[in-house]
Protein backbone atom coordinates (compact mmCIF):
# COMPACT_ATOMS: atom_id res chain seq x y z
CA UNK A 1 0.00 0.00 0.00
CA UNK A 2 0.92 3.65 -0.06
CA UNK A 3 1.92 5.29 3.17
CA UNK A 4 3.37 8.54 4.48
CA UNK A 5 4.81 8.99 7.94
CA UNK A 6 5.40 12.44 9.43
CA UNK A 7 5.36 13.61 13.03
CA UNK A 8 1.92 14.88 13.98
CA UNK A 9 3.15 17.98 15.73
CA UNK A 10 6.41 19.80 16.42
CA UNK A 11 7.28 22.86 18.48
CA UNK A 12 10.19 25.21 17.85
CA UNK A 13 11.40 28.61 18.97
CA UNK A 14 11.40 31.78 16.89
CA UNK A 15 14.79 32.26 15.23
CA UNK A 16 15.75 28.60 15.55
CA UNK A 17 16.01 25.80 12.97
CA UNK A 18 13.62 22.87 12.65
CA UNK A 19 13.73 19.73 10.51
CA UNK A 20 10.50 17.97 9.58
CA UNK A 21 11.05 14.39 8.50
CA UNK A 22 8.95 12.35 6.12
CA UNK A 23 9.20 8.68 5.19
CA UNK A 24 7.05 7.26 2.45
CA UNK A 25 6.11 4.13 0.58
CA UNK A 26 4.51 4.50 -2.82
CA UNK A 27 3.81 2.36 -5.85
CA UNK A 28 6.34 3.96 -8.16
CA UNK A 29 7.92 7.33 -7.52
CA UNK A 30 7.94 10.52 -9.54
CA UNK A 31 9.25 13.05 -7.07
CA UNK A 32 8.09 14.54 -3.81
CA UNK A 33 6.44 17.84 -2.95
CA UNK A 34 6.38 19.85 0.23
CA UNK A 35 3.46 22.19 0.85
CA UNK A 36 2.68 24.66 3.62
CA UNK A 37 -0.88 24.98 4.86
CA UNK A 38 -2.06 27.60 7.32
CA UNK A 39 -5.18 26.73 9.28
CA UNK A 40 -8.30 27.10 7.17
CA UNK A 41 -6.38 27.91 4.01
CA UNK A 42 -5.34 26.03 0.88
CA UNK A 43 -1.89 24.40 0.67
CA UNK A 44 0.84 26.49 -0.96
CA UNK A 45 3.77 25.02 -2.86
CA UNK A 46 7.17 25.05 -1.16
CA UNK A 47 9.43 22.63 -3.02
CA UNK A 48 9.72 19.71 -5.37
CA UNK A 49 12.51 17.11 -5.30
CA UNK A 50 12.94 14.44 -7.92
CA UNK A 51 16.68 13.70 -7.55
CA UNK A 52 18.58 12.80 -4.40
CA UNK A 53 20.11 15.65 -2.49
CA UNK A 54 19.37 19.01 -1.00
CA UNK A 55 17.43 21.81 -2.69
CA UNK A 56 17.80 25.19 -1.03
CA UNK A 57 15.32 28.01 -1.46
CA UNK A 58 15.82 30.91 0.91
CA UNK A 59 15.03 29.93 4.48
CA UNK A 60 13.58 26.61 3.37
CA UNK A 61 15.52 23.57 2.14
CA UNK A 62 14.27 20.14 1.16
CA UNK A 63 16.22 16.90 1.02
CA UNK A 64 15.42 13.62 -0.71
CA UNK A 65 16.84 10.12 -0.51
CA UNK A 66 14.99 7.89 -2.93
CA UNK A 67 16.71 4.69 -1.83
CA UNK A 68 15.62 5.29 1.77
CA UNK A 69 12.15 6.58 0.96
CA UNK A 70 13.00 9.62 3.05
CA UNK A 71 12.73 13.37 2.79
CA UNK A 72 13.01 16.29 5.14
CA UNK A 73 12.09 19.96 5.12
CA UNK A 74 14.51 22.27 6.90
CA UNK A 75 13.29 25.65 8.06
CA UNK A 76 15.86 28.19 9.22
CA UNK A 77 15.51 31.50 11.10
CA UNK A 78 12.00 30.57 12.13
CA UNK A 79 9.38 33.29 12.16
CA UNK A 80 6.01 33.30 13.87
CA UNK A 81 4.31 33.22 10.47
CA UNK A 82 5.91 29.81 9.86
CA UNK A 83 3.38 28.31 12.26
CA UNK A 84 1.42 26.04 9.93
CA UNK A 85 1.04 22.47 8.82
CA UNK A 86 3.69 21.09 6.47
CA UNK A 87 2.58 18.41 4.05
CA UNK A 88 4.91 15.88 2.47
CA UNK A 89 3.38 14.55 -0.77
CA UNK A 90 5.19 11.94 -2.86
CA UNK A 91 4.04 11.38 -6.44
CA UNK A 92 3.22 7.79 -7.41
CA UNK A 93 3.56 5.94 -10.70
CA UNK A 94 0.24 7.41 -11.91
CA UNK A 95 1.55 10.92 -11.23
CA UNK A 96 -0.89 11.31 -8.37
CA UNK A 97 0.13 13.08 -5.19
CA UNK A 98 -0.24 10.98 -2.08
CA UNK A 99 -1.25 13.10 0.90
CA UNK A 100 -0.69 12.45 4.58
CA UNK A 101 -2.09 14.44 7.48
CA UNK A 102 1.01 16.64 7.64
CA UNK A 103 3.04 18.01 10.54
CA UNK A 104 1.65 20.85 12.58
CA UNK A 105 4.50 23.20 13.45
CA UNK A 106 4.06 25.53 16.40
CA UNK A 107 6.49 28.43 16.75
CA UNK A 108 6.94 29.95 20.18
CA UNK A 109 8.49 33.35 20.91
CA UNK B 1 2.41 30.04 -11.30
CA UNK B 2 -1.22 29.47 -12.24
CA UNK B 3 -3.70 31.74 -10.47
CA UNK B 4 -6.83 29.91 -9.37
CA UNK B 5 -10.08 31.37 -8.08
CA UNK B 6 -13.03 29.57 -6.55
CA UNK B 7 -16.62 30.64 -5.96
CA UNK B 8 -18.21 30.70 -3.47
CA UNK B 9 -15.50 31.07 -0.85
CA UNK B 10 -17.85 29.77 1.80
CA UNK B 11 -21.48 28.75 2.21
CA UNK B 12 -23.92 27.43 4.75
CA UNK B 13 -26.44 25.03 3.26
CA UNK B 14 -29.43 23.03 4.37
CA UNK B 15 -29.49 19.26 4.39
CA UNK B 16 -30.80 17.79 1.14
CA UNK B 17 -29.86 20.74 -1.07
CA UNK B 18 -27.05 20.95 -3.64
CA UNK B 19 -24.20 23.40 -4.10
CA UNK B 20 -22.11 24.02 -7.21
CA UNK B 21 -18.55 25.24 -6.73
CA UNK B 22 -16.78 26.98 -9.58
CA UNK B 23 -13.05 26.92 -10.30
CA UNK B 24 -11.41 29.33 -12.75
CA UNK B 25 -7.74 29.29 -13.80
CA UNK B 26 -5.94 32.16 -15.49
CA UNK B 27 -4.22 29.88 -18.00
CA UNK B 28 -4.99 26.69 -19.87
CA UNK B 29 -4.07 23.60 -17.87
CA UNK B 30 -4.23 19.98 -18.81
CA UNK B 31 -5.18 18.57 -15.45
CA UNK B 32 -7.62 19.85 -12.86
CA UNK B 33 -8.49 18.10 -9.64
CA UNK B 34 -11.05 18.38 -6.89
CA UNK B 35 -10.07 17.63 -3.31
CA UNK B 36 -11.86 17.59 0.00
CA UNK B 37 -10.29 18.27 3.37
CA UNK B 38 -12.30 17.65 6.50
CA UNK B 39 -11.20 19.35 9.72
CA UNK B 40 -7.87 18.01 10.94
CA UNK B 41 -7.67 15.48 8.13
CA UNK B 42 -5.45 15.04 5.12
CA UNK B 43 -6.41 16.12 1.63
CA UNK B 44 -8.57 13.55 -0.13
CA UNK B 45 -8.77 13.45 -3.91
CA UNK B 46 -12.38 13.32 -5.09
CA UNK B 47 -11.80 13.21 -8.84
CA UNK B 48 -9.78 14.35 -11.81
CA UNK B 49 -11.77 16.70 -14.03
CA UNK B 50 -11.22 15.73 -17.67
CA UNK B 51 -11.86 18.25 -20.42
CA UNK B 52 -14.54 17.03 -22.79
CA UNK B 53 -15.20 13.74 -21.03
CA UNK B 54 -16.46 12.33 -17.76
CA UNK B 55 -14.41 12.91 -14.64
CA UNK B 56 -12.33 10.13 -13.13
CA UNK B 57 -13.53 9.43 -9.59
CA UNK B 58 -11.51 8.01 -6.74
CA UNK B 59 -12.69 5.13 -4.62
CA UNK B 60 -15.54 6.19 -2.37
CA UNK B 61 -16.73 9.03 -4.61
CA UNK B 62 -19.44 8.72 -7.27
CA UNK B 63 -20.74 10.90 -10.05
CA UNK B 64 -24.29 11.04 -8.69
CA UNK B 65 -23.07 12.62 -5.48
CA UNK B 66 -20.29 14.79 -6.93
CA UNK B 67 -21.05 15.63 -10.57
CA UNK B 68 -18.19 17.51 -12.23
CA UNK B 69 -18.07 19.55 -15.40
CA UNK B 70 -15.00 20.66 -17.36
CA UNK B 71 -16.17 22.49 -20.46
CA UNK B 72 -12.73 23.91 -21.33
CA UNK B 73 -9.11 24.03 -20.19
CA UNK B 74 -9.58 26.91 -17.73
CA UNK B 75 -12.84 26.13 -15.92
CA UNK B 76 -14.47 23.37 -13.90
CA UNK B 77 -17.38 22.94 -11.51
CA UNK B 78 -18.00 20.49 -8.69
CA UNK B 79 -21.52 19.96 -7.39
CA UNK B 80 -22.12 18.51 -3.94
CA UNK B 81 -25.55 16.91 -4.24
CA UNK B 82 -28.17 16.03 -1.65
CA UNK B 83 -25.94 17.35 1.09
CA UNK B 84 -25.72 16.00 4.62
CA UNK B 85 -23.75 17.35 7.60
CA UNK B 86 -21.00 14.83 6.78
CA UNK B 87 -20.29 16.84 3.62
CA UNK B 88 -19.16 19.81 5.71
CA UNK B 89 -15.60 20.33 4.59
CA UNK B 90 -13.22 22.52 2.61
CA UNK B 91 -13.41 21.75 -1.10
CA UNK B 92 -10.28 22.60 -3.07
CA UNK B 93 -9.72 22.93 -6.77
CA UNK B 94 -6.18 22.15 -7.90
CA UNK B 95 -4.33 22.31 -11.21
CA UNK B 96 -1.17 20.83 -12.58
CA UNK B 97 0.97 23.62 -14.02
CA UNK B 98 2.81 22.05 -16.93
CA UNK B 99 4.98 25.14 -17.25
CA UNK B 100 6.55 24.53 -13.85
CA UNK B 101 7.58 20.90 -13.82
CA UNK B 102 4.08 19.68 -13.08
CA UNK B 103 3.76 21.49 -9.78
CA UNK B 104 0.28 21.28 -8.35
CA UNK B 105 -1.31 24.53 -7.26
CA UNK B 106 -4.44 24.99 -5.19
CA UNK B 107 -7.31 27.40 -5.29
CA UNK B 108 -8.29 29.23 -2.08
CA UNK B 109 -10.93 26.63 -1.24
CA UNK B 110 -14.67 26.66 -0.55
CA UNK B 111 -15.69 26.22 3.07
CA UNK B 112 -18.96 24.39 3.24
CA UNK B 113 -21.10 23.92 6.32
CA UNK B 114 -24.19 21.75 6.04
CA UNK B 115 -26.81 22.09 8.75
Contacts of A42 in chain B (CB under 8 A): 90, 92, 106-109
Distance CA B68, CA B55 (A): 6
> Tens digit of pLDDT for each residue in B26-58?
999 888 999 999 888 889 999 999 888 889 999
> Which one is predicted more confidently, A12 or A95?
A12
> Which one is predicted more confidently, B14 or B98?
B14
Interface of A with B in 61-80 (CB under 8 A): none
Distance CA B12, CA A104 (A): 28
A45 and chain B in contact, CB less than 8 A? yes
Closest chain A CA to residue B109:
A42
pLDDT of residue B98: 74
pLDDT of residue B101: 65
Length of chain A: 109
pLDDT of residue B111: 96
* CB distance B92 to B36 below 8 Å: yes
pLDDT of residue B99: 72
* CB distance A20 to A36 below 8 Å: no
* For residues A39-52, average pLDDT: 92
A42 and chain B in contact, CB less than 8 A? yes
* CB distance B23 to B74 below 8 Å: no
> Which one is predicted more confidently, A84 or A40?
A84
DSSP 8-state symbol, B87: G
B75 has pLDDT over 90: yes
Amino acid sequence: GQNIDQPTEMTATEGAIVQINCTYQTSGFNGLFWYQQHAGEAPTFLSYNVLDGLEEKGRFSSFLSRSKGYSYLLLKELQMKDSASYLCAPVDSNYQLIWGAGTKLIIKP
Amino acid sequence: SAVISQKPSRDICQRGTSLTIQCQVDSQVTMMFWYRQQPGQSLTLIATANQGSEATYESGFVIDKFPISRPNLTFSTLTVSNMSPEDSSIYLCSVLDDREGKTQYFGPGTRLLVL
